[in-house]
């Protein structure tokens, strides 16, 4: 077997951003509307603040407005819910993103559920999850959506393939499993109680690592010719997959960094754009 295809997320993200930029320009010309993403930051966690700033810059580059809502760390649940409701009610806002995590005295799930599903461009509500599973979800969680975009960009066939997802988080492992199932893959989900994860991974045509543990998936587990998508990002630019050893076995593999990460942010922009087009009655042909 030759060298594997490097599934370059930066390239995929660039293609998505160019498309979004073109659509944003068209929406402004046709309807006088600029899409807007509202980001809610609760408290002063430096990592969260950096992520919010990064998303704001990404919006600016493609012609999307961003509205940053900064709330005090000691805010009450009622005030947080009121803030979300005011954004739901604002016709100028097309997408709402509540930056995770929020302070522990707040009910994060209740806050997520308060977001209008039509503006849930981050795919965090149970309504979005349910729609994703049923196959008509507009806005899947951004990282699962990004994974499918990468596989599509590189024309990786999914129908009839055995996909093994390592991890079952509600915003990654579970929804990506549903998206793969909707593409007619046969899906196995591995988790902390799975017996002999290595044997399950060894059967996979497509491996999605989403467990949040550095180099958890070992190279010798990978079947010759499998496609490996590493959705993990750990300190030191290390993914959830043992990259060098997996590279020797895979037919295609995502790098870390530069794989799934850039496409996740581009997916957020794309879904904000789609929400704006929908609210303007302007659907992309």
Q: 108 pLDDT band (50/70/90 cuts)?
A: very high
Contacts 24+ apart (CB under 8 A), 27-34: 27/273, 27/276, 27/277, 27/280, 27/282, 28/63, 30/280, 30/282, 31/280, 31/282, 33/276, 33/280, 34/63, 34/64, 34/65
| pLDDT of the residue at 138 | 87
Tell me, yes or no, whether 43 lies in a domain: yes
Q: Which residues pair with 207 in a beta bridge?
A: 164, 228
Same domain assignment for residues 164 and 80:
no
* Structure tokens, 266: 């581009």
Q: What is the mean pLDDT of residues 80-97?
A: 98
- Rounded distance between C-alpha atoms, residue 284 and residue 281, angstroms: 10
**Mean pLDDT over the full length of the chain:** 96
Residue 185 scores a pLDDT above 50: yes
Tell me, yes or no, whether 220 lies in a domain: yes
Tell me, yes or no, whether 190 lies in a domain: yes
Q: Are 181 and 159 in contact (CB under 8 A)?
A: no
- Rounded distance between C-alpha atoms, residue 246 and residue 252, angstroms: 10
Neighbours of 26 (CB within 10 A): 14
Q: What is the mean pLDDT of residues 161-181?
A: 97
Q: What is the mean pLDDT of residues 103-119?
A: 97
- Rounded distance between C-alpha atoms, residue 255 and residue 253, angstroms: 7
For residue 24, the surrounding DSSP H or E stretch is helix 9-31
Tell me, yes or no, whether 236 lies in a domain: yes
Give the start-end residues of each E strand in the chain.
5-6, 36-42, 65-71, 95-98, 162-166, 186-190, 206-209, 227-230, 252-253
Q: Which residues are catalytic?
A: 55, 99, 122
- Rounded distance between C-alpha atoms, residue 119 and residue 123, angstroms: 9
Q: 187 pLDDT band (50/70/90 cuts)?
A: very high
**Domain with 104 in it: what CATH number?**
3.40.50.10860
Q: What is the mean pLDDT of residues 261-265?
A: 97
> Per-residue pLDDT tens for 54-85?
999 999 999 999 999 999 999 999 999 999 99
**Domain with 245 in it: what CATH number?**
3.40.50.720
What are the percentages of helix, strand and coil residues in the chain, rounded to 5? 45, 15, 40
> Per-residue pLDDT tens for 208-257?
999 999 999 999 999 999 999 999 999 999 999 999 999 999 999 999 99
| pLDDT of the residue at 285 | 43
What does residue 219 show for φ and ψ, rounded to 5 degrees?
Answer: -60, -35
Tell me, yes or no, whether 166 lies in a domain: yes
Q: Are 171 and 123 in contact (CB under 8 A)?
A: yes
Q: Are strands 206-209 and 227-230 parallel, antiparallel or unpaired?
A: parallel
| Alpha helical stretches, state H, 35-160 | 46-62, 77-89, 108-113, 126-134, 142-153
Tell me, yes or no, whether 24 lies in a domain: no
> Per-residue pLDDT tens for 3-43?
999 999 999 999 999 999 999 999 999 999 999 999 999 99
Same domain assignment for residues 186 and 93:
no
Same domain assignment for residues 248 and 155:
yes
Contacts 24+ apart (CB under 8 A), 177-180: 178/132, 178/133, 178/144, 179/132, 179/140, 179/144, 179/145, 179/147, 179/148, 180/148, 180/206, 180/208
Domains in the chain, number = 2
* Structure tokens, 271: 């879904």
* Residue 232: domain span: 141-260
Q: 284 pLDDT band (50/70/90 cuts)?
A: low
Tell me, yes or no, whether 275 lies in a domain: no
Angle at 228 between CA 225 and CA 100, to 5 degrees: 175
């Amino acid at each position: 077997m030759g060298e594997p295809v490097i599934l370059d997320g930066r390239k995929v993200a660039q293609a998505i951003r160019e498309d979004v930029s073109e659509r944003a320009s068209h929406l402004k010309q046709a309807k006088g509307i600029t899409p807007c993403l509202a980001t809610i930051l609760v408290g002063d966690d430096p990592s969260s603040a950096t992520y919010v700033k990064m998303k704001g810059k990404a919006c600016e580059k493609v012609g999307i407005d961003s509205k940053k809502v900064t709330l005090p760390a000691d805010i009450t649940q009622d005030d947080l819910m009121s803030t979300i409701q005011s954004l739901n009610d604002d016709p100028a806002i097309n997408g709402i993103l509540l930056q995770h995590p929020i302070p522990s005295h707040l009910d994060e799930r209740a806050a997520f559920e308060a977001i209008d599903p039509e503006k849930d461009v981050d795919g965090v509500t149970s309504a979005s999850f349910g729609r994703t599973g049923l196959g008509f979800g507009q806005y899947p969680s951004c990282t699962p959506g990004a994974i499918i975009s990468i596989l599509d960009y590189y024309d990786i066939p999914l129908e009839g393939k055995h996909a093994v997802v390592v991890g079952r988080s509600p915003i990654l492992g579970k929804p990506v499993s549903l998206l793969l199932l909707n593409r007619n893959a046969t899906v196995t989900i591995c988790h902390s109680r799975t017996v002999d994860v290595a044997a399950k991974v060894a059967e996979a045509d497509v491996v999605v690592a989403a467990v949040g543990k550095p180099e958890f998936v070992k190279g010798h587990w990978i079947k010759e010719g499998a496609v490996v998508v590493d959705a993990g990002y750990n300190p030191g630019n290390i993914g959830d997959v043992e990259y060098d050893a997996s590279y020797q076995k895979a037919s295609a593999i995502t790098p870390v960094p530069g794989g799934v990460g850039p496409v996740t942010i581009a997916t957020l922009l794309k879904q904000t754009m789609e929400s704006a087009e929908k609210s303007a009655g302007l659907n992309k042909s």
